[in-house]
A and B are shown apart, each in its own frame.
Chain A
Amino acid sequence: MTTLLLNAAVLGGERRDLAIEGGVLVDPATVDSATAEVVDATGLVALPGLVDLHTHLRQPGGEQAETVASGVRAAAAGGYTCVFAMANTNPVADTPAVVEQVHRLGLQAGLATVRPIGAVTVGLAGERLADMTMLAQSAARVTVFSDDGKCVADAELMRRALEHAASLGGVVAQHAQDPHLTRGSVMHESPLAAELGLTGWPSVAEASIVARDAMLAEVTGARLHVCHVSTVETVEVVRAAKARGIAITAEVTPHHLLLTEELVRSYDGRFKVNPPLRAERDVLALREALADGTIDIVATDHAPHAPEAKQTAFADAAFGMVGLETALGVVQQAMVETGLLDWAGVARVMSTAPAAIGSEPGYDAPLEVGSPAHVVLVDPDARSVIDVDRLHGRSTNSPFLGVELPGRVLHVWHGGTRTVADGRVGVATEGAHR
């Protein structure tokens, strides 16, 4: 089946037609418009399918909060055609068996490509390196290794992990949090934390680990990726590291581009996240860093939780926010509408660059003829209030409930297969095109 997308603003720029046939983008001039399915994309922006380098799909072990199948529905609704699934499942993704299971579940669900992330250490315990070679050579083809949820705190282990990942052509993604400085921490360390009687998470606990890891990356010649940068201090470390030519990449979450610690005044567990929501100055520095390339990508850190895990005292609540379905709207509000990033920039930080870091093929020439047909059509002028009933994932712990966000994902193609039509997510298909 051939699909013709008429008059789309490609990467927010010039309006032209796109055509999808046989799972790839073809020259629209070669398509017979009489027999093709036609989608009028007037007024819509065409982006490449989004790629999330940091998602928690919770399966195996956490199915009450999310499964691979429910997670990819949320992903598709948000315009994602590829998600990297973090390893802190139960059992942990430190063996080929687990990553291959997640990989298989992804193929069954369709709707988006699921790329399992492998653990750095066995059981995420931070004591012994996981079998990274076996993970890389499994059917899941692991290229990203992370203990996210926990920090690889032991410098010797981190050094060996960086070296080993490098030898496999992979990358270590570090959750930078010095455990000694953050015992019992539940929110940003600040006068507000002192006022609320909540234990603080000082910014230095993130920046100091990133500085250490950057130097380890330099000495090993390895690639280092920093998860969810949240502080102005870390931004400065990453900037300095890049200036030295260190192969460091960094991500920021949508919520850290928009929300501050002030929300914690309500003691509402929905605003509890790791790393925590920080101050205005951090939010502004993160936006600038994303605009100037110091931070390379946006990654959601989509972290589903069942309601009872959040509806409790703040200190007892689980850390995390769901984000796949609201990511694009938040980035539009924080970056596009403030003039810091154009849609081409959005495509870079939310598709091309994350795919490159994770070594996922097919995203390096976005929306060009010959590329796999991963396409998103967004209505940039729509505005909608995020409604708990309209979320597609299994969990609803979003900090944006009741908030109006710009933009609406209308249509998504994953390898030429239609996954979202008029904002409605399709049934899972027999198999995604690769």
Chain B
Amino acid sequence: MKHLLTAAMPRDEAIALLDLAEDMHQIQDRELKKLPALRGRTVVNLFFEDSTRTRSSFEIAGKWLSADVINVSGKGSSASKGESLRDTGLTIAAMGVDGVVVRSGASGAPALLADWIGKPVINAGDGTHEHPTQALLDAFALRRRIHGRAARGKGLDGVRIAIVGDIAHSRVARSNALLLPALGAEVTLVGPAAFLPVPAADGTRLGLRAETSLDAVIGERPDALMLLRVQLERQAGKVAPSVGEYITGWSLTDERLARLGDAAIMHPGPMNRGLELSSRAADGDASTVLAQVTAGVSVRMAVLYSLLASDHATDQRSADHRPADHRPANDGGLR
């Protein structure tokens, strides 16, 4: 049983997926956008949280591989008094589907479903935890921009990337923080103090260097700047910066853009123009925003193929997801 729950993976596994995505990407240039590899497989997009973009991307990816794709909206929390997360998952699995793509507002939900339902599970974003396919498509788009047609087999060695925004609450940041260094990139996290995650004893956050000054990081001439979507209205108003405060310190304004050279400008979308970045930055030649979207379909095709084409795909999950040896075993009550 193989799942894609996290962007944490060995370098060669990541490169293999990106190379497979390169081959899938060729379908964009064809008139007949169909490959038969997943014919007869049924994939469910089980989305407990709305997301037209990600869901459409997975749906197209599945259909281009000839899979049958169903979209299900779930409630799945005890708070909503509807069917529980577990029951929703078991019901879908009992219908005989071959794989489940899960998007949830709760961190850890895909991991729990993977344990409960016995079908391959793909994490399409869980709470503030991870969004592995987003990190893969970000890596794909950046790799292409840097290496062009010679991208196959390569990582992102020596590429310097700054990720800017509400890092603490961003699953995109978390997944990229795991994947990009594995591909050889040097990643710096940038944001106001309230948006940076809890530091470890050595001062690193999520294992990476963190800075509060975007201007200082731009001065270091990074190769790429990844702006994260900021939702200031969602924070408990007292502690997050105001819009004006955020733009002053962390927006990719035209002024900052001018100092950036030809660094790639990335954004997972949807963009808040004027807040995370100016229109000029979003629409300029250095922007990879649309390339990221296109990459998304190819990457998701690669992921679906890897997990569902063969009946013998093996488990990606590392030992970290299991409790330590002498501690209580994870069985009994939940199985």
Contacts and interface: CB of A to CB of B under 8 A. Distances in A.
Same complex for A and B? Answer yes
Interface of A: 183, 189-191, 193-198, 200, 259-260, 262-263, 265-268, 270, 307-317, 387-388, 396-403
Given A191-B199, A197-B107, A308-B78, A388 B332 contact: yes
Nearest to A183: B236
Contacts, number: 129
Nearest to B128: A197
Contacts of B85: 311-313, 316
B332 A396 contact: yes
A90 to B, nearest CB: 17
Closest 6 CB pairs of A and B: A197-B129, A267-B108, A313-B106, A401-B332, A194-B197, A402-B329
The size bracket of the interface on B is: 35 or more
Contact of A312 (B86, B171, B320, B323): B86
A390 to B, nearest CB: 11
Contacts of B79: 316
Interface of B: 76-79, 84-86, 104, 106-109, 111-112, 126-130, 168, 171, 174, 197-200, 205-206, 236, 320-324, 327-334
12 contacts: A190-B198, A198-B107, A263-B324, A265-B321, A265-B322, A308-B78, A311-B84, A311-B86, A311-B334, A312-B77, A313-B76, A313-B107
Contacts of A401: 328-329, 331-333
A266 B321 contact: yes
Nearest to B129: A197
B200 A191 contact: yes
A263 B320 CA distance: 10
A117 B84 CA distance: 34
Nearest to A255: B328
Nearest to A262: B324
Contacts of A314: 106-108, 112
Given A183-B236, A262-B327, A196 B129 contact: yes
Nearest to A267: B108
A195 B128 CA distance: 9
Given A266-B322, A270-B333, A194 B168 contact: yes
Contacts of A398: 333
A262 B86 CA distance: 23
Given A190-B198, A197-B129, A313 B331 contact: no
Contacts of A402: 328-332
Contact of B333 (A183, A313, A397): A397
Given A200-B198, A267-B112, A388-B332, A195 B78 contact: no
Contacts of A399: 328
Nearest to A400: B328
Contacts of A268: 112, 330, 334
Nearest to A191: B200
Contacts of A260: 327
Given A193-B198, A267-B112, A309 B328 contact: no
Given A311-B333, A312-B85, A314-B107, 20 more contacts: A194-B197, A195-B174, A197-B108, A197-B130, A262-B324, A265-B320, A267-B111, A267-B112, A268-B330, A270-B333, A310-B334, A311-B84, A311-B334, A313-B106, A313-B108, A317-B78, A388-B332, A388-B333, A402-B329, A403-B328
Contact of A316 (B77, B111, B320, B331): B77
A317 B127 CA distance: 14
A334 to B, nearest CB: 12
Contact of B198 (A189, A270, A317, A403): A189
Contacts of A308: 78, 84, 86
A396 B107 contact: no
Given A197-B129, A266-B322, A316 B106 contact: yes
Which residue among A194, A196, A310, A402 has the maximum number of chain B CB atoms within 10 Å of its CB? A194
A250 B1 CA distance: 48
A190 B111 CA distance: 21
A315 B327 contact: no
A242 to B, nearest CB: 30
Contacts of A311: 84-86, 333-334
B198 A263 contact: no
A263 B108 contact: no
A335 to B, nearest CB: 17
A197 B174 contact: yes
Given A308-B78, A401-B328, A402-B328, A315 B333 contact: no
A387 to B, nearest CB: 8
Contacts of A194: 168, 197-198, 205-206
Given A191-B199, A196-B129, A315-B107, A403 B206 contact: no
B78 A309 contact: yes
Nearest to B201: A191
Contacts of B104: 313
B18 to A, nearest CB: 24
